[in-house]
């Protein structure tokens, strides 16, 4: 019991002590560049949310598919040589979700020059697209 208490208290103490070492937060915030300048300078893709949504969808889809294909509902998982999937429809749907996640990862990592620029602000959502030919 003592080890559990120690393992619980150490991260709690570190979490509470970390802001004390942060220094003057306003001075540090004043030094940082504006968000648009930082994004343009770093060259990062603006489609980062699509990539992370794709990662989540892929991982979740594969986990549910694996579970639905190998769980035979008798308290243990299927062994080598057993070829009966219990929940084939859920497994197939999960494989489809994992495929959709893979597509989102692919789209999010490529430069989407044909994708519109979507910005969300306080009380507004703007979609802009520059057309040229």
Tell the residue number behind the tokens 């594969």, with chain if given. Answer: 62
90 part of a folded domain: yes
User: Collapsing DSSP states into helix, strand and coil, what is residue 117?
Assistant: strand
User: Collapsing DSSP states into helix, strand and coil, what is residue 78?
Assistant: coil
pLDDT score for 7:
82
pLDDT score for 20:
65
- Residue-range definition of the domain harbouring residue 60: 51-74+84-111
Q: What CA–CA distance (Å, rounded) separates 96 from 115?
A: 24
Least confident of 16-20, 100-104, 120-124: 16-20
11 part of a folded domain: no
The tens digit of pLDDT for each residue in 13-57 reads: 877 777 666 666 667 777 776 666 545 545 555 557 778 888 999
pLDDT score for 128:
75
Helix (H) or strand (E) holding 121: strand 117-121
Which of the four pLDDT bands, split at 50, 70 and 90, describes residue 99? very high
pLDDT score for 54:
87
Number of domains in the chain: 1
Which of the four pLDDT bands, split at 50, 70 and 90, describes residue 133? low
Q: How far is CA 53 from CA 49, 64, 125, in A?
A: 6, 16, 20
Q: Are 103 and 54 in contact (CB under 8 A)?
A: yes
105 part of a folded domain: yes
Q: Are 55 and 108 in contact (CB under 8 A)?
A: no
The tens digit of pLDDT for each residue in 75-85 reads: 666 666 666 66
């Amino acid at each position: 019991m003592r080890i559990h208490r120690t393992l619980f208290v150490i991260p709690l103490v570190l979490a509470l002590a970390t802001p004390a070492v942060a220094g003057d937060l306003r001075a540090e915030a004043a030094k940082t560049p504006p968000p648009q300048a930082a994004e343009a300078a770093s060259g990062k893709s603006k489609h980062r949310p699509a990539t992370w949504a794709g990662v989540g969808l892929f991982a979740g889809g594969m986990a549910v598919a694996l579970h639905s294909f190998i769980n035979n509902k008798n308290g243990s998982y299927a062994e080598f040589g057993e070829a009966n999937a219990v929940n084939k429809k859920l497994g197939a749907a999960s494989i489809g979700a994992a495929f959709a996640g893979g597509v989102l990862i692919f789209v999010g990592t490529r430069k989407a020059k044909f994708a519109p620029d979507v910005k969300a602000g306080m009380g507004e959502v703007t979609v802009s697209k520059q057309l040229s030919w």
